[in-house]
Every structure is written in C-alpha cells, then in structure tokens.
Structure 1
Amino acid sequence: MYERRRRREAFFERLLNYFTELGEEIDEFVESMFEAMRFSRPDWDMDSCCIEPLVHVESTPDSIIVTADLPYVEGKENIKLNATEDTLEILAEMKKDVRFEKWGTIQREATFRKYHKIIRLPEKVVPEEARATFKNGVLQVILPKKVKKTPIKIE
C-alpha cells in the first residue's frame, strides 16, 4: 500500500513538473513574440495619409526616453505631443509629401503627409514634467518616471 501511494505521488509530482515547465516555455515564447513585434516596420493609414515614425523607447532609472525619426518635418511648430501616465502620442506634419509607387505585393500608390503614433510606455510617468527637443529630424522626449514611494508622516 505504501509503495503504491509513493508511486502515485511521484507520478503527480512528475506531471506537475511537466506542466510547470510547459507553462514557463509558453511564457518565454509569448514574451519573445511581443519583443519581436516591438521592432517591426512602420505602419501606415492610407485614408488619413499618415505613416508611423520609427521610434526607440529606452528606460533609465529615472525616466523613459522616446526617440523618434521624423524626416521631412521642418520645425517644432509642426509637432504635437500628448502624454498620459502610460502613453505618448506623436503627431507631426511633413514639409513635403512622401510618395510610394509600386510597393508591396499589391501595386498601389500612396502619399503620406503626416506622422502619427501612440506609444505605450513601459512604466508610468509624470506627463506634466516631460520635456522634448527636436533637432535635424530627430525628436527626443524625456518623461520622468512616476515615483512609487509615498512619504509616511511620523506622529
């Protein structure tokens, strides 16, 4: 009786280990898929003549730094930025149209006049303290991270 019980417990322990390892492998696979999608090509919306700019999001100990490539944008007055605690929206007007002819598997013609992208930030930020610079077609936005500490008053 004791031997049968021990074999049964060993079976369930092996089964539990198998499902635990399988779950970890699935988590790693899903995480790698999302990581691969983060660096995908720019997207576009032909109806609104918008294209997504290439962006890089970097996390430092104090802030989130978003760098966006905005060729054909002439000055900072042509850029609008909107931020919340967890997103940054970039809207920019190009000084000249960008036109694609005969591209992709379907031969179409497209003209783009604006950039538009909403970026989900990896951590919560304080949007009111954000600052941005624009130089030579490169936009850099620095968003301070929201402090998770709350001071405790001693009575």
Structure 2
Amino acid sequence: MVSKNTPKKSSRGISPWHSSWEELDKTFENFRRDLEKSFSSFPSISMPRFPHMQETSCDVIDEGKQLRVKMNVPGIQKKDIKLNVTDNSLEVSAEHKEESEEKKKNYLRKERSQVSYYRTLPLSEKVVSGQAKAKLTDGVLDIVLPKSTPTKVQAKKSVSVQ
C-alpha cells in the first residue's frame, strides 16, 4: 500500500513535482520575482564607496636633451601632488579630498569627494633627478626631466602607405 505522503513518480522521470524543464524554469522565475518584490519594500541603502585609485593617462616625449611627461590629473591642486624622480624612473602620486557640510542640525545629506592618482613610470634613459621641473596647468601636469647624456633628435622621414 502506498502512503499519502509519498510523491508520485513522473512519467518523464525528471522530477516528481514538475513535468518539464519549462515548468521548473517558470517556478524559479516566479520565486525570483517574489523575492525581488519582498526586498523592494526595504528602504534603499547605498554602500559607502572606498576611495578609488585612478590610473591617469600620460604622454612621454623625447625632446633630445630632455624627456617631457604630460599627465592628466583633473581635480588636483599643485599642493596635493608628490613627485619622486630617480635617474631611471618617475613616481607621481596625488590625492585631493573635499567635504561640504551645511551647518544645520538635522541635515539629510553630507557629501564628500576624494580623488587619488598614482603612477610609476620607468624611463627609457637616465635623467638628472635634481634638475627636474614640474608645472600644473588646467589639470595637466607637465614634467621636464633633463637627460644625463642628451641624444640627437632623429630626423623624421615620411613613408607612403600602400
């Protein structure tokens, strides 16, 4: 005699509760939808964001007697930049934090922003680190690195593409 609690076997042999994979898929889809509905009633929370270390784009130009590095550092002030130059590498790091706060007792929003950059560039030629110069203009850091042994700038020759 078969007990009332024993599930009947399906004629297809896939599952005792579902007759096809399509029904199983529909069941999971309904479960997912119900779960999303139940969580939508909770208040929305945004997770705190960690400061993001951005890698900035840069150009390295050989000008014969010197190397010139142009690096984009938007949102950074010159007091926030740290440069370290060795005879064969350049390290640039920058961090700027801003915080705005209204002097109200029950503020609903308080915003902070932070931008950070870090880049180490190996240099193709030795430079005189003590003579390096840097200037920040409109978010572009221009670094001039005099070479230890200047090289002659190669003459350019136009080549036609076939």
Structure 1 length normalisation: TM-score?
0.52
Instruction: Tell me the secondary structure at the aligned position of residue 146 of structure 1.
Output: coil
The residue correspondences of 1:1-155 to structure 2 (distance < 5 A) are 49-73=52-76, 75-95=77-97, 113-147=115-149
Number of matched pairs: 90
- Letter matched to residue 64 of structure 2: P
Q: Percent identity?
A: 33
In structure 1, distance between residues paired with 2:137 and 2:143: 12
- Letter matched to residue 53 of structure 1: T
In structure 2, distance between residues paired with 1:96 and 1:143: 31
In structure 1, distance between residues paired with 2:86 and 2:51: 24
In structure 2, distance between residues paired with 1:48 and 1:116: 13
Unmatched runs of 5 consecutive residues or more in structure 2: 1-48, 100-112, 151-162
Tell me how large the CA RMSD over aligned residues is.
Answer: 2.6
In structure 1, distance between residues paired with 2:51 and 2:75: 18
Unmatched runs of 5 consecutive residues or more in structure 1: 1-45, 98-110, 149-155
On the 8 A contact 2:97/2:114 being kept in 1, the answer is: no
Question: Displacement, 1:47?
Answer: 7.7
On the 8 A contact 1:51/1:112 being kept in 2, the answer is: no
Instruction: Tell me the secondary structure at the aligned position of residue 77 of structure 1.
Output: helix
Structure 2 length normalisation: TM-score?
0.50
Would you tell me which structure has more strand in proportion to its own residues?
1
On the 8 A contact 1:94/1:115 being kept in 2, the answer is: no
Instruction: Tell me the secondary structure at the aligned position of residue 92 of structure 1.
Output: strand
Instruction: Tell me the secondary structure at the aligned position of residue 75 of structure 2.
Output: coil
Structure number with bigger Rg: 2
- Letter matched to residue 137 of structure 1: G
